[in-house]
Amino acid sequence: MSSTQQLRGAGRLAITSTQGVVDLVEAMHAEIARLPLGAHRDRTAGITGLVYRSVRGATRLVGGGLDLALGALEPLLDRAGPERASAAQAAVAALNGLLGDYLEDSGNPLATRMGLHPLVAGSSGPTLILLHGLCMNEAQWRREGADFPAALARLGRCPLGLRYNSGRSIWRNGAELAALLDDVPGPITLLGHSMGGLVARSAIAQARGRRWPARLQALITLGTPHGGAPLERGGQILQQLLALSAYSRPLAALAARRSAGIRDLRHASLLEADAGRTSRMPLPGGVACYAVAATTASQPSGPPARWLGDGLVPVASALGRHRDPARRLAFTDTAIVTALGHLGLQTDARVLSQLQRWLTPAR
């Protein structure tokens, strides 16, 4: 995606967001202004209504002018340096995590398209596919001085980074990945951080009739919420509380604007039929499956470790320990890393060491 396309997409999103905020404010204004027994309405009337209609009209005009201006700037914007381009890609990845389903449905050029990208030039050997988490991209496997792709390439692996729109439903990304992997030759290992582990499991679940599952050697997940993510449940509770009052009800629509991908994290839904519940899909048979959990506590067990988890995902969820026996996951091996947060799972030397032990062929 060119810099111009990114800015045009951002401009369109800004215009739409402005119109959405205008709608929200007017809905609250209408609710507060109406008589106690008056009919519910989302629009104001008279002079007040004219003001809101004028704001919407001006916003649409600004949007059209912005597109024309960006067209004239295209030759300059597309000559941006690599550092600025990397920062722009990170911002687009974050935006896709928050609003990716909307970007895709509205045809916005900011919507990320799924694709595999080489991470280490000249690497060869069995393919190792790295799947990033929510609001991230494949470049973020390298940060804070750590370089997991380069270290794993030295094991004789060929690391490929999956870039995907993390705001889409997990099952949609899983279905697209399942089709994409048929074109990857040779043995395959899937390494997923956070949401990436769920996308990998969803792809495996939707790969019936495809060629690549017979070549799948291993599945590894880092801080993946196999049993769901409590913070997304908190977002759902906030949405329900806002809807209780007539005055705050318009704000519930804003809370509901979380992307489909974020909502799927609530129960770790892998398939379209799983909406609103944790999947019963077991781990693939005949495949080595590993999981790493982190906790910000100093000890791997006990109430602090159990309650805190890595700050986003509880230890039990990351290790597939569910109260329902039908939803428990039988991993080949697991590991718990202490004094570590969720994002640190992609940079910590102890995690890398564990990956190297699992991925080094037995002699």
- The DSSP annotation for 276-338 comes to TS---PPPPTTSEEEEEEE-SSSSSSSHHHHHHTTSSS-HHHHTT--SSGGG----SEEEEES
pLDDT at residue 180 in the model: 98
Q: In the 8-state DSSP scheme, what is residue 35?
A: -
Same domain, 185 and 134: yes
Domain assignment present for residue 92? The answer is no
Domain assignment present for residue 243? The answer is no
Same domain, 280 and 329: yes
Same domain, 44 and 124: no
Instruction: Please tell me the distance from the alpha carbon of residue 3 to that of residue 189, in angstroms, as a whole number.
Output: 33
154 vs 44 pLDDT, higher one: 154
Same domain, 124 and 205: yes
Count of structural domains within the chain? 2
End-to-end CA separation in angstroms for the chain: 45
Same domain, 297 and 187: yes
Residue 325: pLDDT above 90? no
3-state secondary structure of 127: strand
Domain assignment present for residue 322? The answer is yes
Same domain, 208 and 68: no
Same domain, 196 and 147: yes
| Least reliable range by pLDDT among 78-92, 96-110, 128-142, 207-221 | 78-92
| % of the chain residues with pLDDT over 70 | 68
Same domain, 76 and 119: no
Domain assignment present for residue 110? The answer is no
CB neighbour class for 326 (10 Å; exposed up to 12, middle 13-18, buried from 19): exposed
Q: In the 8-state DSSP scheme, what is residue 15?
A: H
Q: Mean per-residue pLDDT for 221-230?
A: 91
Question: Which of 33-47, 149-163, 237-251 has the largest mean confidence?
Answer: 149-163
Same domain, 75 and 133: no
Same domain, 277 and 217: yes
3-state secondary structure of 156: coil
Same domain, 77 and 122: no
Domain assignment present for residue 284? The answer is yes
Q: What is the CATH number of the domain that holds 195?
A: 3.40.50.1820
Domain assignment present for residue 242? The answer is no
Structure tokens, 163 = 């870039």
Percentages helix, strand, coil for the chain, rounded to the nearest 5? 50, 10, 35
In this structure, the dihedral spanned by the alpha carbons of residues 24, 30, 33 and 37, taken in order and rounded to 10 degrees, is -130
| CA distances, 221 to each of 191, 288, 294, 354 (Å) | 6, 12, 12, 12
Domain assignment present for residue 250? The answer is no
Q: Mean per-residue pLDDT for 266-286?
A: 88
Same domain, 174 and 40: no
3-state secondary structure of 206: coil
Residue 244: pLDDT above 90? no
Q: Mean per-residue pLDDT for 331-352?
A: 96
Domain assignment present for residue 13? The answer is yes
Structural domain containing residue 294: 115-229+264-359
